[in-house]
Amino acid sequence: MRILITGATGLVGSALVAALAREGHTVFRMVRASTKSPGGRAGTFDVPWDPETGELGGAAVGAEAVVNLGGASIADGRWTDSRKKLLRTSRVDATRALVTALGKMNAKPDVLVSASAVGFYGNRGDEILIEESAPGSDFLGKLARDWEAEALHAEEFGTRVVLTRCGTILASEGGALPKMMLPFKFGVGGRIGDGKQWMSWVALEDVVAVLRLAIIKRELRGPINVVAPEPVRNAEFAKELASVLHRPAIFPAPPFALRMAMGEMADALLLASQRAVPEKLTNCGYSFASRSLKEALQAILVAT
C-alpha cells in the first residue's frame, strides 16, 4: 500500500513509518523543503509538502492512505497569543490545505487517518467520556473540534476519515513521560494538585497499532478514543511511576505554582480531568498491548 504521512519525523510518526516499512508498505514522508528527515530505510521516501499553500509533490499521486500527524507541540512553550496561533495554524489550517490537495487528486485516497486528542473533551471531572461525548469549551477543546472538522471534509469526496483522539502517549523516546520522570529521578516527584484529576494515557506501541488498524479496517470511521481501557487519577499515576522508578512520591506540585510557571497551559494539560475510554476500539475487538499503567511503565523502562 502507498501511504502518505505528515508529521512523520515526530514521536508517533517515526514509530509508524518504521512499522509500516517493516510490513512492506511504501511510505512517503511529507516534509517541508527545508526539513532534513532521517533516511536509509527501505521503502520510505520524502515528498515535498507545503502546509501553508497545500502544494504537494507529484510522488503523492496514487496514495491509498494518508495519515495526518502534523502539528506544533502543545507543551513546548507558554500559550502566548502567537503560540496559540501557531498551534492552530499547524493543525487546523494545515489540515485544511492537506484535504484540499487530496481533493484535487484524480484518484482520491481510500482513507484519511487524522490526529486529534482527548483535549477535545475539556475538563470533565469524573464523567466517563466516549466518542459521542460533547466537546469542551476551552482552548484545547475548540482547537481539537476545528481540527477534526477540517479532516472530515475529506468525506465529501468519498474518503473514509478516522479521527484518533489520543491520550497522554507514554514512550521512552520522547513525549510527556521523560519530562514526568525527571523530578521522580531526583526524589522530588509527586501528584499534581490534589491528584484527583483523571489521566487518559496510552502506550506508544498501542498508538502505532491503532493507526495501522485504522488504515485497513473499513468499519472504523469518525472519532476513536486512542486511550488505554484503564484511565487513572493523577495521584495513582504518580504512585505507579514512583514505584517503577524506586523513588518516593511525596512532593505534590501546587496548582498556584504551576499556573505561575505555565499560565493557561497548566490548567489544560496538568490540572484538567479527562476520563476517556476506548469504546469503539473495545467494540471492534482491539486487544491492547498495555492495559494497565503498571505494565505499560514497566515495559517502557525495561526497553530503555
CATH number at residue 118: 3.40.50.720
pLDDT value, residue 197? 98
Burial string for 91-112 (b: 16+ CB within 10 Å, else e) reads: bbbbbbbbbebbeeeeebbbbb
7 located within any domain: yes
Q: According to the model, what pLDDT value does residue 54 have?
A: 84
Q: How many domains does the chain have?
A: 1
Question: Which of 37-46, 92-101, 221-230 has the lowest average pLDDT?
Answer: 37-46
**Any domain includes 146:** yes
- Residue 98, in any domain of the structure: yes
Helices (H), 195-233: 204-216
Is residue 129 in some structural domain?
yes
Does residue 163 form part of some domain?
yes
Residue 261: what pLDDT? 87
Does residue 234 lie in a domain region?
Answer: no
* pLDDT attached to residue 35: 65
* pLDDT the model gives residue 19: 96
pLDDT > 60? residue 299 = yes
Q: List phi, psi (to 5°) of 67.
A: -120, 120
What per-residue confidence (pLDDT) applies to 144?
98
Q: What is the pLDDT of residue 231?
A: 98
CA pseudo-torsion sign 216, 221, 225, 228: negative
Identify the pLDDT of residue 53.
84
pLDDT at 245 over 60: yes
How many CA atoms does the CB half-sphere of 263 hold within 13 Å? 10
List, in order, residues 6 or more apart from 280 with CB less than 8 Å away: 131, 220, 223, 224, 225
Q: Is the pLDDT of residue 33 over 80?
A: no
Locus of grid cell 507545503: 50
Note the pLDDT of residue 41: 66
Q: Is residue 270 part of a domain?
A: no
> pTM score, two decimals?
0.95
Determine the pLDDT at residue 206. 98
What is the pLDDT at residue 36? 61
Q: 222 is in which domain, residue-wise? A: 2-167+202-227
Q: Does 43 fall in a domain? A: yes
> Which residues, in sequence order, are CB contacts of 302 under 8 Å at separation 6+?
none
